[in-house]
Structure 1
Amino acid sequence: MNTIQTATNNFNLSNKLGQGGFGSVYKGKLQDGEEIAVKRLSSSSGQGKEEFINEIVLISKLQHRNLVRVLGFCVEGEEKLLIYEFMVNKSLDTFLFDSTLKLELDWPKRFDIIQGIARGLLYLHRDSRLGVIHRDLKVSNILLDEKMNPKISDFGLARMFQGTEYQDNTRRVVGTLGYMSPEYAWTGVFSEKSDIYSFGVLLLEIITGEKISRFSYGEDGKTLLAYVWESWCETGGVDLLDKDVADSCQPLEVGRCVQVGMLCVQHQPVDRPNTLELMSMLTTASDLPSPKQPTFVVHTRDDESQFRDLITINEITQSVVLGR
């Protein structure tokens, strides 16, 4: 614990990298000069020390080039810390939604990032020994290394905070509005297909350079999904790529990715691809099914007042907590 306190200058605010639904993240530097990221977990997980340690031991064995590496942990009293490798380029949203930095993400790089996230998700769902469902996949949870390769972070936290009952339903919904599938947000039922929905939103944000929670188009305030659907129906989606990098566009690839995104955000889980099918859609030229019109949830000020008691809002995560 003393080592981590020293590395982070006693969790000094100047070292704080971000705040999420599971706690705060701080940059640290060990005595040998190695930079680390320290996640200071909130105390609401309900896990005892032994359960926590068992879970971390399992999660630390998950290793993939598109997952952030867990280096270690520290438990002292109520304090629970996770130590990760430090990602020099921070998170994807740092680049994607910045008017200057986004220029570094041309279409080939965005397509690489999309495929990398899908590979990491495939590993979590199908190839890892745990079979982890992420439950909070979003741009701020995709970190970028020095070569701009994407790495999924927080991939074990939803599981840790909910115990191991993660294949059917949960008493507490953790996630971010806009990215949550309809069945998960309103009934607590989650599965591989819940992550697929989140991936679809993430994919459309990467293509358009627009943030789902801030996007509003036209007098009627179209949501990002409604806007993308209309564009896909009219032009096949080839004009949806962020205008600032449009000169790097591969129209067929962009249109195909838009269609994949639409398939991922289908209202019914059965209409969404599973992770294996998703990977195939992104890496082959196989025929794609035609998506149905997704369900569009338009958030108005009236809606916000209804949900105020249910939603905890901070800079990064909006969590809906529903009893069952």
Structure 2
Amino acid sequence: MLIYQIITLILITLPNTISQPTYLYSICPNNTSSSNNTQYQTNLNTLFHSLSANATTNPTGFHYTSVAPFTRDAVHGLFLCRGDQNVTTCSSCVSTATSDLQDTNCPNRKVAMTWYDECMVRYSDISFFREMDQIPRFYQVNTQNVTGNETRLVQILGNMMNNLIYGAANGGPDKKYATDIIGYTSLQTLYGLAQCTPDLSIIDCCLCLTIGIGLLPINLGGRTMLASCNVRYEVYPFFNRADNLTLLSSPPPTFETSNSNAHNNSVKKSIKVIIAIIVPVVAASAIFLALCVCFINKKVKNRDTVVTQTDGEDFKDVECLQYNITTLQNATNSFSNENKLGEGGFGSIYQGALSDGKETAVKRLSRSSAQGVIDFKNEVLMVAKLQHRNLARLFGFCVEGDEKLLVYEYLSNKSLDKFLFGSDPFSCSNMVSEPRLRPGFDKFKSGSKLCHQWRAWEKWTDGVPLEFMDQTIKDSYSSHEIVQCIHLGLLCVHESADKRPTMATIVMTLDSSSVTLHMPDEPAFYTKTRIESKSAKEVGSDQLVSKSVHWSVNSTSFSEIEPR
């Protein structure tokens, strides 16, 4: 009876035992070092803490996050656990990986990546979200040579790898993971596994796995670990089945580890696998492309026939808007400096007068522009269709040799609100400073945008950003999405271009709720118009009043996360 109780106790406690993760390899370039007391290192510690904490509750086994993403000390990182690992095992592996990266494997590095049998962790000072990266990478090869029919092995591996690529790439947004089991001989079975980071597209996942498979020679096992994906096959079970029953692994054979890109003696064998994999993938891609073309053609045919006819006629009529170079040279006094109104990133602008007395502003595009003539004419046609009282009219264009010119109507110097509002006493000029205006293009700043800009900033600092939303559509969107868009908008109008978020960061922020945003600063063109009398008396008219705002929407707090 006592023995029975002891055995029962052992069986109960065994599932709760967490084995240590199996370390494989780490890569940390020597040219990306940082000192231990820098702000980057502080942000890195915060990142590791965030990854470890997320792994304890994340059932998908994948998480990407950033700390201080809009600063020079930004750090971006992710973890990816093997698709068959539960939350407990995944959390243990991520915790071990982040700890070892800091202490032993890659201390004081700005870029590093480490692989374990159960997970991988990666971080960098450059964002890599949704990027298919095949480097850094390493591979392991089973040293046991093929003893049976090698041709049959190549065929079986080709079929298995095709199944793995298709299954992993189409795994969904949360987990791109697939396994496969195929019999090789009466005594041997092949086990395969492939996985991509879920942020990759289907095409990028297929490409990454194809590259990884191409590095594998024809042996009785091997694996390739890339930055964005990994693939492995063995003649013994090494992953958990879908029914959550762990397969008993036989003792793994000896492996050779290499991070070199040099080819080994099995390159000729690996070519067979590549051909067996790429041919079906290319065929499937061609079928998919054909279906897309048919769908697009169907959409085009369903367009209104009147619009189609009008587009053709307009393209023919674009030639009617063309001026010759001599006419514009005479109008601008051969583009003299006396007639020059300004210069922007795309060229210079000159004031001119045509023979009929019409005043114009001629924009002479830079000769370094790579825009073709057809694209240029299409753009002219599109701009010419735009008619609005607040837009400078396009009279025509000129294309001769390497010269490309646009002819606009000339707008004389006036206050911006005169063009936008006329004599309206409630114009922006009563609330914001009045920028002076030359021609209505190039470095033109829209007055209405200035109004919206300072109004958004006022609502933000008052702690009521939702009041900036149009009340008629307020209930059509979630409060969190509205606040997130306003937050990004204020960051995009920062006075310093270096502190504005990149498009990649914006996309990453909108797709992920875990990205940390720093609080926006006062916009460049903001002029404070409301000064509380009490505050003005206390601080004086020449000082700015700064107030900290903390608010929440639907019980969701929005705050700036700073590392300890």
Q: Same fold by TM (over 0.5)?
A: no
**Highest RCO, 1 vs 2 (Cα 8 Å, sep ≥ 6):** 1
Tell me the TM-score normalized by structure 2. Answer: 0.22
